[in-house]
Structure 1
Amino acid sequence: MKTFHHLLFMILLSWLVLLCYWCHTAATAGDEASFGVNNNIKCIDHERNSLLKFKRGVKDYCGILSSWGNQDDCCQWHGILCSNRTGHVIMLHLHDNENQFTCLEVLREINLSGNNLSEATDWIQTINNIPSLRVLYLDDCELYPVIPSSLSYNNSLTALRVVSLQSNHLNDTPIFQWLFNSSGNSNQIEYLDLSDNSISGHLPSAFESVHSLSYLDLSGNSLSGFLPSAFESMHSLSYLDLSYNSFSGFFPSAFENLHSLSHLSLSDNNLEGPIPEYFRNLRSLKVLHLSNNKLHGPLSKIASCLCNLQKLDLQGNIFTDDMSDVFQALSVGCTNEPLLEYLDLSMNQFWGSVPNMISSFSSMRELDLNGNHLNGSISQGIGKLSMLEVLDVSYNSIRDTLNHNHFLNLSNLRELYLSDNHALMVNLSAGWVPPFKLNIISLRSCKLGPSFPDWLLTQTNFSYLDISDTQLSDKIPASFWAKSLSSNLQFLNASHNKIHGVLPNLSATFDIDSVIDLSSNYFEGSIPSFLGTYASSLYLNDNMFSDATHLLCPRIGNTVLWDLDLSNNLLSGKLPDCWMKFDQLQYLHLENNKFSGNIPTSIGDLKQLNYLHLQNNSFSGDLPARLENCTSLLILDLGYNSLTGYIPPSIGIAFNDLRLLNLRGNHFFGRLPLSLCQLSNLHLLDLAINHISGTIPDCIHNLTAMIKGGSDYLVSVSTSLGKEAISPYEETAVIEWKREQQKFKDTLAQVNYIDLSSNELEGEIPDGITNLTGLISLDLSRNKLRGSIVSNIGQLILLEFLDLSNNHLSGVIPTSLADVSYLGTLDLSNNNLSGKIPLGTQLQGFDPSSYKGNPLLCGAPLRKCPGDKPPNGESMIHQEEHGNDDIYPGLYISVVLGFIIGFWGVCGTLVMKTSWRHAFFRLFDGMKDKVYVMVVVNIARAWRKP
């Protein structure tokens, strides 16, 4: 009964806090209310009864509530404020004097969590006057920014033991001054939760005097600096959470004495270095969270004595241990089997294999080793972990073949992540029925095929299935579509295989927000309508589908599709005019098919459409006027069709958020509309290969998005289910880049590009185009442009591609062009340019073909200009060449004279002097005889050897 009375009091106290603000609001709105004033509106019966129950449950020593019940109308009672319009009690005003709450001696706990106290102030003094208060919960009360000074320096709450102020906006130290003031309750608080506030700076020294704390949560703030030494005196501390702050440096020695600590969380800080060896002595630890720091090993030194550990989270550090050593350390020294239930070692640099001793961790429920360097095998001992619910070894380099022994007793397994182990094969024998029913199956890039695995047909509860890039080259069994797809399916990805066959047209139902990705296979025939009935994202691109009528013109109701990709198929004929049924659509890819006829007018019903890709089909006729209703368009890609007519004059007004406009390779004619200049967010403009005439608008400098070096306008869809993203979608576009069609994905947002080539444009290049300093590619070739190249073209410092060829440009090449250091492709050919090519390594490095067809142009790499003096180096070479010509005759004479003198100096002497000649030949004969004797003797010795 006492608890019930306390609850009633807390409810009424919360009214006290909130309704003062409501009262003020009601009064200003004309809803007059007053205390104890007669009016025609009487209080509501059930509110009167509640007030009386409250009175009976409170020891009102001061008689504050003595008037309650004397009259039937509770609006006449002391401290009650009612609305004159509705009769509801809208305020309790019970603090006529500052000491009245000292009469409420039974009040020990206040819980006002979840109320908005941001503009209420009376609760401050109310709490100050309750000396018996032991428990205070003000969670999520919009307290901002600090505890007011009237409470900060209060000394009367000497009984306070439990304080929870989490999820507010507290950001200053008065909160600590209130909690730990010297004459109050500094050594009494046992439970303190200030998590998810905005407290910044270093922890105050006041913590050093708090010896009674057993629970402290400061997570989710902006605390910084080194971990303080204040914790060394908190011998009673059993729960400490400092995660999601900005603490840095190494572990302090202060933690060494926290022998009562059972829960320690320091995740998401900037801690570095090894985990101290004194952690081996913290034998009470049951939960240790150190994820997302810069900690390194060896881990095995500290793990060997933590036998009571139930949760260990080291995700996102730089540990480099052999995985076998880690499991050995976690099990050695423990007299019984390890108690570990949750082990997260993901996103580190562990290597090796999952060892046999894994079987001893019988309590394990979740094992996460993803994102490491595991390059060995997985022990079959893992199949003995009957409690295991989550197994994640994805993003490693495991080389093994998993068979049914690896899963033998995993009856509780619900989530299996093996993705991105390219040398890992899953080979479960045909007919084997797994003991588990999985919710999440992630096998991307493992070796699963070539046949569709039988064991997958037994899994009928999964909400997530990723078997993409698994070397499947089979048909998907009909029973998979009819039975395996459960009603809670959210994600199915079988893309990038060689799956073939026809998809059945079923009445299957699944989650209304599901993602289906069957792209990059060999599916053919018609696309069944059931795929679009419930899916929110449908990727069927890069297949061989030939008919999409049922999908694109559903018979019943509107679809929930917001992303549809049918590109790169064999779809043909007219596009159905049923787009009013796709009112949620944001992404539409139909490029690279064989669609023909006019673009349907109902395309204008796609009010939320962001991306429209119809490139490389055979659409004809004018653009439908209703297309201008698609005001959310970011990308309009209609290139390489047979569209005709004028570019809509209001295009820059209707699509003012447009980032990419591609009308390339059509039959548009007429002048460029001036409204194009209003596309201030445009990054890619491609109107090449049309019949556009007139001049380039002078206002082109208003395309201000091209002043910057890139943008973030492309949205990557990334929702998640469990640990996996359930949508792999990233926006792509194929554009003409450096004379080749290239597909841009991640880098598309970084390209600033203008291509107006192969049209009939006249006039001069506007000077303002050089203001677009973020331009990377500019192609104005094959037009009828006249005049000179703008002199300050060197302002386009990021330019990589410039083509002004096949125009009627004249004058000199601006010297500033030599300063464009990124320029990789330049074509100025077939104009009327003259003069000398500006000197600089950039322009001289291009092939002469970049300048051909300009007869009056000279200078390297073309012919020399008249009157050019050779460079110093070239002059020296010529001098050396001429000098060599002068030297050659003397060299020849010297060689001949030397030969004559040398030859006849020796041979002439032998001819003229007989005694010398005889002596020379005798010497020669003697040498010959000696050589002959040596050869004969050596041959004889060789024959005598056995």
Structure 2
Amino acid sequence: MISYSTMKTSHRNLIFLLEFYILSYCKYNAVGITSISNTSNHINYTRCIPYEREALLRFKHDILVDHCRLLTTWGDQQDCCQWQGVQCDSNTNRVTMLTLRGSHSGMPCLEGEIPHQLKKLVNLVSLDLTCDFGNSYDCPYANTLWWLPKLTLLRDINLSGLDLSLASDDWFQNVNNLPSLRVLHMDQCGLSPMIPASISYTNSSSNISIINLSNNFFNDTSVFQWLFRLSGTNSSLVVLELSNNQIPGPIPPNFGEMLSLSYLDLSSNLLDGTIPSAFWNMHNISYLSLGMNQLEGPIPHTISNLNHLTHLILPNNNFQGSGNFPNSLGSLCSLQEINLNNNNLDDDFPNIIQALSGCATKSLVSLDLSQNRVWGSIPEKISIFASLRGLLLNTNQLNGTIGHGIGQLSMLETLDLSYNSLTDTLFHSHFSNLSRLHVLDLSNNPDLNVSISANWIPPFQLINVNLESCKLGPSFPNWLATQTNVSYLGISNAEISDTIPSSFWNSLSSHNLEYLNISYNMIHGVLPDLPITFHKRPVIDLSSNNVSGAIPSFLRNTPKLYLNNNRLSVLNPFFCPKDKTSIIFLNLANNLFSGELPDCWMSFDQLLVLHLENNNFSGKLPTSVGALTQLYTLHLRNNSLSGELPRSLDNCTSLVVLDLGYNSFTGHIPAKIGCSFESLRVLSLQSNRFHGGLPLSLCQLSHLQVLDISINHISGILPKCIYNFTAMIKTDDSLSDIDVSSVYTYYAYSEYARLMWKRKEQSFQRSLGQMRAIDISNNELKGLIPAGISSLTGLVFLNLSNNDLSGSIPSRIGQLTSLEFLDLSNNHLSGDIPTSLSQVTTLGILDLANNNLSGKIPVGTQLQSFDSSSYMSNPGLCGAPLSKCPGGQPTANELDSDKNDTQQDEDDSSNLVLGLCISVVIGFIIGFWGVCGTLAIKTSWRQALFKFLDDQKTRFFR
């Protein structure tokens, strides 16, 4: 999407008119800030006040670096009033202004601590130490500002960009104690996020007019409270900038009482809710920016109270509107800019044009309603906005026609109607009077037909042209050859089935071209080899066409060249140039190239990305490939290359992706592969003729996330150190930390993983950076599956099928909770299927067929959901989805468990019987001898017992 930028700096003119001075670059400081009192050639060396001179020299001493050499004159002469950056009063000879801002070779003017000796300049009226270079350099800093209130006459302070983070506890109080303050600039100073309510306002200025505290860390509403106490509701405050903070909550209602405000910027905060009604009482507002917040609700009709409003900037909020676009906007006769980009407006565009059809039709310069839900057509009435320079309606739901009235906007510079559903045929009459047009974007309107005759000569010279996914063809749009100042040109997917005329290429050889995209058409023919030089070295994309023949040599003069998916067959004269090229991205994939690769890669030693896959290159990989020491990705997949890999390949130590699959390479996998390619994320060697074992150095590739060595003749065992693939433990995008921004300026890194299953290539719909895969299938590996493979918890794809692996499946394989694909078929694996595998809920493909697995398939919704073919040819395996285990036949583990339980029960029973017997014997002994023994010994007890028995017998027989 192309944004309208003509108006981006115009609002700053309002501030420039309000500021007391305008400061420029270092080279102008010597002229603009020398003493205005020097009216003769004679210099009075005694004018300077001695202690003020000493304070300035102390200032110079504490400055670490003076990039602009502003302080070189300080000390060479006695009169400090003649020093660069210093102004004195002509009557008192006191220093009144210190201005040390500026730029020199893109650097701030000063570095170091601001010394408190400045407090001695008691007559100072203006202090400007601005450092506006962000974080690229170390700007001056101050640990405290306690000395600032000593300068009681100070009216103008500009400390923007200085590091005041350590002074953030007292800056507000020290600013409060400046009774003469008029202008305060402390933008991007790292100021504290919270201002206490207990500070004193006794000595505060009552006439402050400009406050800029943008780009700090305010994260609560205390800054508003401080602001209202400092300036007062009826103050002379004219400019207020608080943008790029984190101020939350609704806009305070008392904002409407700041009637003197002319410029207000509260953009890029966390403000929410609706705008209070009193807010629209600030009738002096001319510039209003509330963008990048969370404000909502409709824009009220009372906005007409702001009759001085020139710029209404409210993008990236939640302002709604369904058929109620405020008609009052049309009555604002000074209105120049409306920016409601990325809100929730839902209205018919002809209704919006009607709502703006007041006196604003004469003043409106920019209308941005992009990224909303505006629908309808572009009406003829659009022509009434005679001053319109920017019209941005992209990414809406426009679904009608485009009236010829748009061609009457003679002041129009930017027209963006992209990403809509416009259905019309545009003729040259739609552009007849657009002589100032520089930006034209009609892209992604699939039913929009741009039918302009080949002989038409436009009245404009475009800089940015985007007509992608429109209907331009079938003929090549020859009128584009008249546009000799183009910087960006996109006509991809435009139904063009023609040759490209030489006149078009010649028109692009200007100093401006930066990007050219003609991909996804049906361009045919041979590209001419012209003596063209691109001064800005543009990105050129001619991919997905039917271009044939040779690559013209003039295309070497581009850093990024896309020629993939064509019918090109000749590399010369493009390759083996006399001088080195500076190409960093070259894509020649999917063409008809054949023969040996040229052995002159030393001419392309700046390459970062090289795509040569899906051609018919043959022979050995040339040794000069080792000159590509900066290469990130090398794609040679699906060619007919053969022989061993050259040792010089070890020099390509920056490789992140190495794809040599589907060739006929032979020999061993390089023994030092883990030492040479420490940054390697993707290693793809499948379907070649490599033999021998896996080198142990492979385990040193801790960043490796995709390992594919399938369909080779690899023998030996899987190394136990496989757990060292620590990148396969993660699940985030591991390519995001690779700096390829210089490569993919216009294209995101969009590779996708392609892996084999049942000898058929599967393309996984996830970015390569999120893929974790191991495929060593179809080789001759023996031995066990290392238990350490279970620690690679980020694995998505694991294929060890068609080898001679033996032993059991690792019992902790269920730890691979991200696994989607598991193929261990056609090996000699034995034992049970681990019960932990049933816990892998992400598993979508499973194949354990043709092994010696036995026992019952673990019960769980996941493993029972697969077809029986996933378990076939394992004679000892039973349970769903296979046949039921006979007689409820338990698994080997269950048999062992039952045996142990039975033995335990038998042991428990034996112990119980023994205990019972012992208890009975002891009880008998105690009971018998406890009673009978006592009767035998105790005569009186024995006589009493016998008497009791005789009495009972007598009673029974009565």
- TM-score by length of structure 2 reads 0.80
Confirm or deny: 8 A CA contact 1:306 1:330 kept in the other structure. no
In structure 2, what is the Cα distance between the partners aligned to 1:668 and 1:445?
45
Structure 1 match to 2:576: 553
1:642 matched to 2:664: yes
RMSD: 3.3
2:325 paired with 1:300 = yes
Distance 1:451 1:118, change over 3 A: same
SS of 1:312's equivalent?
Answer: strand
Once the two structures are superposed, the pairs formed by residues 756-795 of structure 1 within 5 Å of their partners are 756-795=776-815
Residue 716 of structure 1: how far off its partner (Å): 9.6
Matched, 1:326 2:356: no
In 1: Cα distance, 2:118 partner to 2:311 partner: 49
Deviation at 1:279, TM superposition (A): 1.3
Is 1:823 the counterpart of 2:843? The answer is yes
1:853-874 deviations in whole A, cap 9, x for unaligned? 222222233233221399xxxx
- Judged with a 3 Å threshold, the aligned counterparts in structure 2 of structure 1 residues 130 and 378 are, in CA distance, closer, same or farther, namely same
Q: Which residue of 1 aligns with 2:724?
A: 702
Work out the CA distance in 2 between the residues paired with 1:482 and 1:706.
51
Counterpart-to-counterpart distance in 2, 1:150 and 1:415: 46
1:110 equivalenced with 2:119 (yes/no):
no
Offset at 1:13? 12
Partners of 1:542 and 1:748 in 2: CA distance: 21
- Aligned residue type for 1:139: S
- The aligned residue for residue 74 of structure 1 is none
Pairs within 5 Å for 1:626-705? 626-705=648-727
CA distance in structure 2 between the partners assigned to 1:244 and 1:93 by the alignment: 30
Cα displacement (A) at 1:111: 1.6
* Residue of 600, 604, 612 corresponding to 2:622: 600
Instruction: Determine the C-alpha separation between the residues in 2 that align with 1:769 and 1:689.
Output: 21
Counterparts of 1:246 and 1:426, CA distance in 2? 43
> Aligned runs of 1:460-471 on 2, under 5 Å?
460-471=484-495
Deviation per CA, 1:446-465: give whole Å up to 9, x if none: 00000011211211111111
Name the stretch that deviates more: 370-379 or 837-846: 837-846
Map of 1:943 onto structure 2: none
1:601–1:624 contact (8 Å) kept in structure 2: yes
Aligned to 2:335: 309
Q: Which residue of 2 aligns with 1:564?
A: 586
Q: 1:177 to 1:577 in 2, by over 3 A?
A: farther
Contact 2:112–2:141 (8 Å) recurs in 1:
no
Work out which of the residue numbers 610, 624, 643 in structure 1 matches 2:632: 610
Contact 1:506 1:528 in 2 (8 A): yes
Deviation (angstroms), 1:717: 6.6
The yes-or-no answer on 1:192 pairing with 2:215 is no
Q: Which one of 517, 532, 538 corresponds to residue 561 of structure 2? A: 538
- Tell me which residue corresponds to 1:376: 400
Shift of 1:842: 2.5
- Measure, in 2, the Cα distance between the counterparts of 1:13 and 1:623: 77
**Counterpart-to-counterpart distance in 2, 1:611 and 1:131:** 64
Report deviation, 1:273. Answer: 2.1
- Does the 8 Å CA contact 1:682/1:705 hold for their aligned counterparts? yes
Output the amino acid matched with 1:188: N
4+ aligned runs moved over 6 Å, structure 1: 6-10, 12-19, 43-46, 60-65, 90-98, 175-178, 715-720
Aligned counterparts of 1:671 and 1:503: Cα–Cα separation in 2:
48
Q: Distance in 2 between matches of 1:17 and 1:499?
A: 73
Question: What CA distance in whole angstroms lies between the structure 2 residues aligned with 1:376 and 1:63?
Answer: 72
Please tell me the residue identity of whatever aligns with 2:353: F
* Alignment check: 8 A CA contact 1:207 1:230 kept: no
CA contact 2:448–2:470 (8 Å) conserved in 1: yes
Question: 1:149 aligned to 2:170?
Answer: yes
The alpha-carbon distance between structure 1 residues 289 and 480, as it changes in their structure 2 partners (threshold 3 A), is same
Is the 8 Å Cα contact of residues 353 and 378 (structure 1) preserved in structure 2? yes
Deviations 1:382-441 (A, max 9, x none): 000010000000011111111111101000000100110001010012311110010111
Deviation string 1:736-763 (CA, Å, 9 cap, x unpaired) is 2544324567622222111000111000
Q: Which moved more, 1:113-122 or 1:510-519?
A: 113-122
SS at match of 1:769: helix
- Any stretches of 5+ residues in structure 1 without a counterpart? 28-42, 66-89, 871-946
Contact 1:124 1:151 in 2 (8 A): no
Asked if 1 retains the 8 angstrom alpha-carbon contact of 2:370 and 2:395, the reply is yes
The residue identity in structure 1 corresponding to 2:874 is: N
- Asked if the contact 2:717–2:781 (Cα under 8 Å) also holds between the matched residues in 1, the reply is yes
Code of the residue aligned with 1:649 in structure 2: it is A
Q: CA deviation at 1:286?
A: 0.7
Cα deviation for residue 481 of structure 1 reads 1.5
2:157 counterpart residue number? 136
Residue 270 to residue 19, structure 1, CA distance change in 2 (3 Å): farther
- Please name the residue that 1:804 is paired with: 824
Q: Structure 1 residue 303: deviation in Å?
A: 2.8
Q: Which amino acid aligns with 1:615?
A: R
Taking a change above 3 Å as real, the CA distance of residues 445 and 615 of structure 1, as seen in their structure-2 partners, is: same
| One-letter amino acid of the counterpart of residue 168, structure 1 | C
Q: Is the 8 A contact 2:524 2:546 kept in 1?
A: yes
Residues 59, 114 of structure 2: 8 Å contact kept: no
Query: Is the partner of 1:685 in helix, strand or coil?
Result: strand
Among 440, 446, 449, the alignment partner of 1:425 is 449
User: Structure 2 stretches of 5 or more lacking a match?
Assistant: 1-30, 39-46, 66-71, 96-110, 133-137, 891-958
The 1-side partners of 2:37 and 2:680 are apart by 58
C-alpha distance 838-337 of structure 1, shift in aligned 2 (>3 A):
closer
Aligned 8 A contact 1:501 1:523 in 2: yes
Q: Which amino acid aligns with 2:186?
A: L
- Deviations along 1:365-388, one digit per CA (max 9) or x if unpaired, are 111111111111111100000100
The separation in 2 between residues aligned to 1:716 and 1:658, in whole angstroms, is 14
Secondary structure at 2:335 match in 1? coil
* Partner of residue 51, structure 1: 80
Contact (CA 8 Å) 2:145, 2:171: kept in 1 or not?
no
The answer as to whether partners of 1:425 and 1:447 remain within 8 angstroms in 2 is: yes
- Residue 813 (structure 1) aligns with: 833
**In structure 2, do the counterparts of structure 1 residues 814 and 44 end up closer, same or farther at CA, with 3 Å as the change threshold?**
closer
Q: Find the aligned partners of 2:87 and 2:653 in 1 and give their Cα distance.
A: 63
SS in 1 for 2:822: strand
Q: Deviations over 1:115-165 (max 9, x none)?
A: 86644469752x433322221212222332444638734665222111111
User: CA 1:18 to 1:459, structure 2 compared with 1: closer, same or farther past 3 Å?
Assistant: farther
Cα deviations across residues 222-258 of structure 1 (Å, max 9, x unaligned)?
2222112231221000100011111112112231211
Aligned amino acid, residue 157 of structure 2: L
State how 1:463-612 maps to structure 2 within 5 Å: 463-532=487-556, 534-555=557-578, 557-612=579-634
C-alpha separation in 1, matches of 2:876 and 2:52 = 90
Structure 1: distance between partners of 2:886 and 2:74:
110
Q: Which residue of 2 aligns with 1:23?
A: 61
How many residue pairs were aligned? Answer: 816
Q: Distance in 1 between matches of 2:417 and 2:64?
A: 60
Distance 2:175 2:464 in 1: 54
**C-alpha distance after superposition, 1:440-491 (max 9, x if no partner):** 1100000000001121121111111101000000001121112344232111
Residues 206-221 of structure 1: pairs in structure 2 closer than 5 A: 206-209=226-229, 210=232, 211-221=235-245
1:22 offset after TM fit, Å? 6.4
Mapped pair 1:836 → 2:856: yes
Shift of the alpha carbon at 1:621? 1.6
Q: Determine helix, strand or coil for the equivalent of 2:665.
A: strand
8 A Cα contact 1:152 1:175, kept in partner:
no
- The residue number in structure 1 matching 2:202 is 183
| Equivalent-residue separation in structure 2 for 1:619 and 1:837 (angstroms) | 45
| 1:556-605 deviation digits (Å, cap 9, x = unpaired) | x2212111100000111111122222222111100011111221222222
8 Å CA contact 1:383, 1:407 repeated in 2: yes
Corresponding residue SS for 2:887: coil
Structure 1 residue 282 corresponds to structure 2 residue 306: yes
Structure 1 length-normalised TM: 0.81
Q: Does structure 2 conserve the Cα–Cα contact (< 8 Å) formed by 1:511 and 1:535?
A: no
Q: CA deviation at 1:843?
A: 2.4
| Cα pair distance change 1:765/1:15, threshold 3 Å | farther
